[in-house]
Chain A
Amino acid sequence: MSGSAIALDVAGLTRAFDGRTVVDNVDMTLHDGEILTLVGPSGCGKSTLMRLISGLEPTDNGHVRVGERDVTKIAAEHRHIGFVFQESSLFGHLRVAQNVAFGLRHLPRSERGARVEEMLDLVQLGGLGRRYPHQLSGGEQQRVALARALAPRPRIVLLDEPFASLDEVLREELGHQVVSILRWAGTASILVTHDRHEAMTLGDRIAVMHDGRIEQCDTPEAVYRTPSTRFVASFVEVASFIPDGAGSVFVARPHHLLVTPGGDDQVTRIEFLGSGYRYTVRRTDGTEAVVDVAARNNLRVGDTCTIAVTTRDLHRLA
């Protein structure tokens, strides 16, 4: 992806409400064709960030550039940014084809039909152009919304938790479908989600957001293996923090640890995972460690135990 042109460049975006800073000096860069997932807990500011980039809300500070264009002062309707919302935002009184054609005013009439067909085929809803939104399922509606957003061939498209209102199974399926659609279309996109699994599996890069700041923006592997903060480390997967004796901590995943009977630590919880067991242990310094073991040992909740590290290859937090 690096090497392709920059589709979106955002710097210093800040937004505060009622004295609370919701988006805090955010920088972000997106290359053409890249899919970035933006993830974080509720209230971390990801939706607001999307609204700032799209122009639906004004920014207090910073700039937004789409391609070579500085759109910071430009109204949302003129930024040529695609947007897919969480709730179905289709125009209920228009047919599917008319929905998709909505942003194609600039095209001559003769071309509009072809583009609509192309987009509907892209999202695998070809032939449903004459239906009305209420006649489609939730997943189909979101696909139409995507087709509609992509139809004017925007440089970037923003998707704000587009699967949140769908059920679990559908979500995963649709997630992969959407990503392949986006890749096929070649449009740079930011996909917002609060689901860490989605974030890790769907994007080229993942940006972890916390309290208005982006704590790390990197490939999923990098974020997993070399998290830059405690929050990021815990966010992507359960983490235990082992002091390194030099004022910092190592990040240990459950499979990096061992637990044996006898010692100064105490087992506080045991969960059955299917593939093994997960022990939660309280350590003498008060922190908790989480250990996964394949086979059950004789430890029970309340027993004393000892934690040991099974590998030298742990990442040290800065």
Chain B
Amino acid sequence: MFGIPNIHGVVEKASPKPVKSLRFLRFFMVGALAAVAAACGGNSDGSDDTRSVTVYTGRHYGIEPVFEAFTAATGIEVRFTAGSDPELRERLVAEGDNTPADLVMTADAANVELAAAAGLLASVDSAKLTNAIPEELRSKKNEWFALSRRLRVVMYSTERVTEPPTTYAELGDEKWSGKLCLRPSTHPYTQSLVASMILNLGSDTARAVVDSWVANKPLYINSDTDILKAIAAGDCDVALANSYYLARLLAEEPTTPVAISWPEQDGSGAHVNVSTAGVTAAASNPDEALELLEWLATEGQSTFSDANFEYPADTNVAPAEVLLSFGEFRADLAAVRELGRLNPDAVELLSRAGYE
């Protein structure tokens, strides 16, 4: 025996009671087999009559009403599987040409770049898309397109902080020692931010900045919402978080004493990440996938972005009203396409700096 212990120590003696329990087991098994027979084998494409598109999405919050709106507008059914980006990517790689996925959606740029690099995405030729989405927010080969922008910015306590940091580096100032909240390095948001810093500042300076953050003994919390709540509760004064988390929080509790300080406005602009989508290379319904993609990039922009308080990728589309209160800002669009390439470097930098 491998060593996994058995029930031996637990079951004291074989019970001589009648076979009723065994009958129950058999009934169990018959029912189960019936279910298996019914469900044997997935389908690589949807039903024959209605048009449908299958989506693998790592961005799973607020996505359902978007798909419903699409179906209402076009009659195309959407089947989707939500999961975590890297795992879905592994699945796509493993499935190869057999994949049922027509469209891939991710919650950030690095993951979609990795998918593209793995040859999982198809290059699409669509004027609609290139017109709607700015060049910096789509891949050079038109394999993926951003659908919304999410900014990782400095958050601060309105009650205790009068001069919030205006750059990412300032978070490393000594005055913030013990008062800084950060998301752990396991999360793509942190990795992407550091990747953009490597691009804009060079590895050495970026490393110095991260070192200074670490020196401030940050409180690592694996949830942006909890980070903001920590600021409100007084456990830290400044932090990094995604803009939409604050918007969500304010929608629930309008009096939350936390505000955004747009960083790098005199420099490269606030770090921006994107929700993206791309048609898979092995799609069985490429036309429907393209239609969904185009819809998301045009008519669907508001539905898509507003659901999660994000900024539409199409800068001509107005963001949700709530976001207007955050004010105007400059975003670091230029870095977006490089985030994937620099992700491994960011991960290594974070490790070496001792960032948790």
A residues near B (Cβ < 8 Å) are 92-93, 132-134
Contact = CB atoms under 8 A, between A and B. Distances in A.
11 contacts: A92-B14, A92-B15, A92-B16, A93-B15, A93-B16, A93-B17, A93-B18, A93-B19, A132-B16, A133-B16, A134-B16
Nearest to A91: B16
B13 to A, nearest CB: 9
Contacts of B17: 93
- Give 7 nearest A-B pairs by CB, closest first: A92-B16, A134-B16, A93-B16, A132-B16, A92-B14, A93-B19, A133-B16
Contacts of A134: 16
Given A92-B15, A132-B16, 9 more contacts: A92-B14, A92-B16, A93-B15, A93-B16, A93-B17, A93-B18, A93-B19, A133-B16, A134-B16
A133 B14 CA distance: 13
Contacts of A133: 16
Contacts of A93: 15-19
Contacts of B14: 92
Contacts of B19: 93
Interface string B193-229: 0000000000000000000000000000000000000
Interface string B10-28: 0000111111000000000
A93 B16 CA distance: 4
A134 B15 CA distance: 10
Contacts of B15: 92-93
A261 B281 CA distance: 115
Most buried by B among A92, A93, A132, A134: A93
B23 to A, nearest CB: 12
A25 to B, nearest CB: 40
Nearest to B22: A93
Contacts, number: 11
Main secondary structure of the interface of B (DSSP, over half): loop
A28 B193 CA distance: 90
A133 B17 CA distance: 10
Contacts of A132: 16
A299 B15 CA distance: 62
A42 B212 CA distance: 81
Contacts of B18: 93
A133 B15 CA distance: 11
A133 B16 CA distance: 8
Interface in B1-51: 14-19
User: Which of B15, B16, B17, B19 has the most chain A CB within a 10 Å cutoff?
Assistant: B16
Contacts of B16: 92-93, 132-134
Nearest to A133: B16
B125 to A, nearest CB: 71
A134 B16 CA distance: 7
B17 to A, nearest CB: 7
Nearest to B18: A93
B18 to A, nearest CB: 7
Nearest to B14: A92
A134 B14 CA distance: 11
B19 to A, nearest CB: 6
A141 B17 CA distance: 17
Interface string B274-289: 0000000000000000
A132 B14 CA distance: 14
Nearest to A132: B16
Contacts of A92: 14-16
Nearest to B19: A93
Nearest to A92: B16
A93 B22 CA distance: 11
Nearest to A90: B16
A88 to B, nearest CB: 11
A132 B18 CA distance: 9
B15 to A, nearest CB: 8
A90 to B, nearest CB: 9
A38 to B, nearest CB: 31
A64 to B, nearest CB: 33
B26 to A, nearest CB: 15
Interface string B128-154: 000000000000000000000000000
A89 B122 CA distance: 69
A133 B19 CA distance: 15
Nearest to A95: B18
A93 B15 CA distance: 7
A92 B15 CA distance: 8
A93 B19 CA distance: 7
B22 to A, nearest CB: 8
B170 to A, nearest CB: 76
A12 B53 CA distance: 79
A41 B163 CA distance: 98
Nearest to B16: A92
A191 to B, nearest CB: 28
A93 B17 CA distance: 6
A132 B17 CA distance: 9
B259 to A, nearest CB: 72
Interface string B307-340: 0000000000000000000000000000000000
B20 to A, nearest CB: 11
A92 B14 CA distance: 8
A132 B19 CA distance: 12
A102 to B, nearest CB: 15
A109 B156 CA distance: 86
A135 B19 CA distance: 17
B315 to A, nearest CB: 75
A92 B19 CA distance: 11
Interface in B143-191: none
